[in-house]
Chain A
Amino acid sequence: MHWIISQLPGIALAAVLVSLVFRDVTRSRLERFAARQALDITVANGPVVIGYLATTRRWRAAGFLAGLVIEFGATFTQHGRPSTGGVGALVGWFVGALVAEWRMESRQSAGVRRAASLSARRLSDYVPAWFVTVNVAVWTATIALGVAETVILRPTQWPAVVELAFAAGVTPATWLVARRILARPQALVAQGVLAADDALRSRSLHVLGGSTLAINGFLAALIMSASQTLGASWLPDTWSFGIDVLGAFILPLLGWLAATSPFAARRRALAYPSGIAA
């Protein structure tokens, strides 16, 4: 019975998320999105943005819940009682976010006369350059940490292999989905809809990049704590503590700040060509 009481906050959060999955997109959420992306919501682009917000939330919340349930199941099987450290929910949320972006469809040129912009869509048009650099640096550091720990402790223990394997897959998976987001077809439609399309891509890339940063940070902290738990710490205590704080708090916070920070997509405005169906 005690474990139920100790898990009440998690259960309450799960219940809130279940309700979120089925909730409509509120006006304040739409306004928050518009403010972050410096986007004017119009009659034409409003439904596009609302559809995006509803789809992404549904998948992310569903992923969060699935992760939570899987973690509960795994801990129950292992220890005879369910518990959560939050990793399952975070990973589930992340997988849900990836699936949502992968499934997202956009408008393609159709009809007899078709038009497209000749400007290449690049990552730097949608997210700040530092964001990409920090993500790659944190990923590299996490992998290096995992490899070092595995090599140093290998003769006796394999404490961080699962975390290392997972870290190795997170950023490449994000990169693949980011490429898909950039390549998603973009029809030349009315200026407001085009701006919304760019805003959606930008927000998607911010969210994926932010969550990747948070997960890599978490994994780095887990890798460190794995050896500490075994009493086989191979780094000075101050270093271990520093990595723990950075990975478990600072990087997730930075990821969240980046995911929610305002950023107007920098793509040039395109003239609406004559004779092309909107």
Chain B
Amino acid sequence: MILEVDTSSPVPPYEQIRTQITDLAASGALPVGIRLPTIRQLAGDLGLAPGTVARAYRELESRGVVTSRVRHGTTIAAQGKPSRRDAADQLTAAARTYAIAVATLGVDRNVAVSELDRQLSTLTPA
């Protein structure tokens, strides 16, 4: 399983890490209970500051994607269905990240909406 970070992207690296791990966990590519690399290992491999990876892990933990325990490290948590309020919060955060990327790249609003629509259609069964 490979994680990629684009340091020139308008999306901050911690957010890229968080999004990819969330997606991989949601799709089952990262199964429940699997151990993620330590903060030091992942930061070293990506050439990022440990604080960046630590922030991504903290956010993943606060959203229930991973659990961190002493001696067990950080593992993928069982994904229960989020509460309506949590789902709304997560959607807002993800939409904001997308909006920032659109604004920074100077993409036309209609193009951005149609791209979002296209992405949704790839996930939603016909």
Contacts and interface: CB of A to CB of B under 8 A. Distances in A.
Contacts of B1: 117-119
Nearest to A274: B4
Given A117-B37, A118-B21, A185 B45 contact: yes
A172 B38 CA distance: 20
Contacts of A113: 4-7
Interface residues of A, number: 26
Interface in A76-113: 108-113
Contacts of A119: 1, 37
B73 interface: yes
Interface residues of B, number: 24
A115 B36 contact: no
B62 interface: no
A273 B3 CA distance: 9
A155 B119 CA distance: 79
A235 interface: no
A271 interface: yes
Contacts of A187: 45
Given A108-B47, A183-B41, A114 B36 contact: no
B2 A117 contact: yes
Nearest to A180: B40
A112 B8 CA distance: 6
B5 A184 contact: no
Contacts of B24: 118
A187 B73 CA distance: 22
Closest 3 pairs (CB-CB, A-B)? A116-B45, A185-B44, A118-B1
Interface of A: 108-122, 182-188, 270-271, 273, 276
28 contacts: A108-B47, A109-B45, A109-B46, A111-B7, A113-B5, A113-B6, A114-B7, A114-B47, A115-B4, A115-B5, A116-B3, A116-B5, A116-B42, A116-B46, A117-B2, A117-B37, A118-B1, A118-B2, A118-B42, A119-B1, A120-B36, A120-B38, A120-B41, A120-B73, A121-B37, A183-B44, A187-B45, A273-B4
Interface of B: 1-8, 21, 24, 30, 35-38, 40-42, 44-48, 73
